[in-house]
Structure 1
């Protein structure tokens, strides 16, 4: 397996790592759902960060503390704030709505990123990208079907999670100009430990042995997911990796069916595909615009 990976081209390695990250993230979602069966979701979020930090300690020892120096403290804490909202909303929605539906809604993040970049960063978007955003929103409405189905709290949380993660991506876009990926990942976890511990106090109970296994699984697999994801985006252009993202939907649909007996509806697939196509187009236009300004640039910074 290692020899096969070494023989791959640079681009193929990036795609392989991206697929691995998707598999790891999907497994983490299963562990989250299983842990939440016996432990309050607020505690699950806290332990996800605490145990992820424990897993990262050996890595920090090898890289040294200089690799995680903060150069923009304000942005780090803003990232922690939106990271907490995204994680709390995202984890909770996974316990309330089908996995495939939550995954399909998560495809809307690039749409929110584009809108946020226009509002907060002053970026200019043209008619084609505006049309792609509108199409993506239509795809989300197809999944949610307001007026047909009850607009559940889980769907609201899934949208909030997508919005929060989009704000996070915009912050990371600025942080990568001044700080290392190791610092961005490590301080995210460190800042989230106390933030997520406070709301967990009123519902605190010690996990059972079985739940501890799921929690450790979340910490370990989540760290592997972030590592492979970050590495893949540092090795290739975002436009070559975005098409791979859609395999999340069939993977999560398969896991949801096999483990939780969930069968995603037809509209979830249709809406997810529409959102995905619109985000691919947005990513393509952004990459094209970036390349026209910086023709000699390499791969874009990773989205953490």
Structure 2
């Protein structure tokens, strides 16, 4: 997870902000590809007649393969990273992260991909409210207004009264709420824990925790399903690394707009693989949500410059599935 290495050429290096943008776009692409693979695994494409795999079991395979890929990194940080006096907080952070993952994987399995991604853009609004109500951070009128406008974007996408509202449509928003709580735990942990410790415990705890719900829906996977599960885990790890490096290269307010490239990427994947075409209201609502979230990121960056604090932005992505 270190950001010391780079795939950029040394001869004519890009500026740090541009590198951050490239890393963020790469992360957005890999997250979109991962979501497409989750849908493929869930709809039975790789099951050889066994039927689609339940999202809870997909989440377990995502975690176990991601943990396997990260073991060398975890081994290097293990001795130092395991030192903590806040094990209970690490556990709750992992529990909320798993809840977000289960809701999100279910949303990807049952909703149009673009709609699920657009609704999941609401994470910053829940995080803003939680930071004010739980952590006691000062959130002034401008950010509250942006938060309200962001949730208006959700209403535009869902259109209550014009289309039938189903419980499944709430899954990406509920996942966003759990992700935001996970981010709040990261902010709290960052006040006393090293970044390596935060990442280490999240990955060590997620795999056994995700096995519990997976056992209730378990069936033995086929070899193609195991291969797709490995692909999902590799996409997740690589996307998180790129996301973290993006934060290391540039200010959050400068690179967060590029995170919303997930929507066009996933729209293309949904069209090519599943014949899904997002309606105009999904795009309009997503634009409202993204605009409000970008404004919140800019305001938070300005506050951070005026009152420096420990930076947890790079690690907060671990709340994302």
The structure 2 residue matched to 1:205, chosen from 219, 224, 228, is 219
The CA distance in 1 between the partners of 2:195 and 2:139, in whole Å, is: 28
Q: TM-score with structure 1 length normalisation? A: 0.93
Residue 215 of structure 1 is matched in structure 2 by 229
Q: Secondary structure of the residue that 2:226 maps to in structure 1?
A: helix
The whole-number CA distance in structure 2 between the counterparts of 1:177 and 1:102 is 33
Please give the secondary structure, in 2, of the residue aligned with 1:114: helix
Q: Alignment partner for residue 162 of structure 1, among 176, 179, 182?
A: 176
Query: How many residues of Structure 1 are paired with residues of Structure 2 in the alignment?
Result: 302
Matched, 1:244 2:244: no
Question: Could you tell me how far 1:61 is from its partner in structure 2?
Answer: 3.2
Range with bigger deviation, 193-202 or 158-167? 193-202
The equivalent residue for 1:33 is: 39
Deviation at 1:234, TM superposition (A): 2.5
What is the aligned counterpart of 2:99 among 85, 89, 93? Answer: 85
Residues 1:148 and 1:4: Cα distance change in structure 2 (over 3 Å): farther
More helix as a share of residues: 1
Asked if 1:23 is matched to 2:55, the reply is no
**Whole-Å separation in 2 of the counterparts to 1:149 and 1:122:** 38
Report the CA distance shift for 1:184/1:298 in structure 2 as closer, same or farther (over 3 A): closer
Give the equivalent residue in structure 1 for 2:210.
Answer: 196
2:14 matched to which residue of 1? 8
CA distance change for structure 1 residues 291 and 91 in 2, over 3 Å: closer, same or farther?
Answer: same
User: 1:214: Cα distance to partner?
Assistant: 0.7
Compute the displacement of 1:64 (Å): 4.7
**TM-aligned CA distance change 1:2 to 1:122, over 3 Å:** closer
Q: Which moved more, 1:264-273 or 1:63-72?
A: 63-72
Moved over 4 A (4+): 297-300
Separation in 2, partners of 1:155, 1:253: 17
- CA shift at 1:70, angstroms? 3.1
- Contact conserved, 2:187 with 2:312, CA < 8 A, in 1? no
Q: Is the 8 A contact 1:68 1:184 kept in 2?
A: no
Deviation (angstroms), 1:72: 2.1
TM-score (norm 2): 0.89
Inter-partner Cα distance in structure 2 for 1:245 and 1:138: 20
What do residues 145-171 of structure 1 show as CA deviations (whole Å, max 9, x unaligned)?
Answer: 111112122211111100000111111
- Is residue 264 of structure 1 aligned with residue 278 of structure 2? yes
Q: What 5-or-longer segments of structure 1 have no aligned partner?
A: none
Match of 1:46 among 60, 63, 80: 60
Instruction: After superposition, give the CA deviation of every residue in 1:195-220 in whole Å (9 maximum; x if it has no partner).
Output: 21112112211111111111000111
Q: Distance in 2 between matches of 1:250 and 1:68?
A: 39
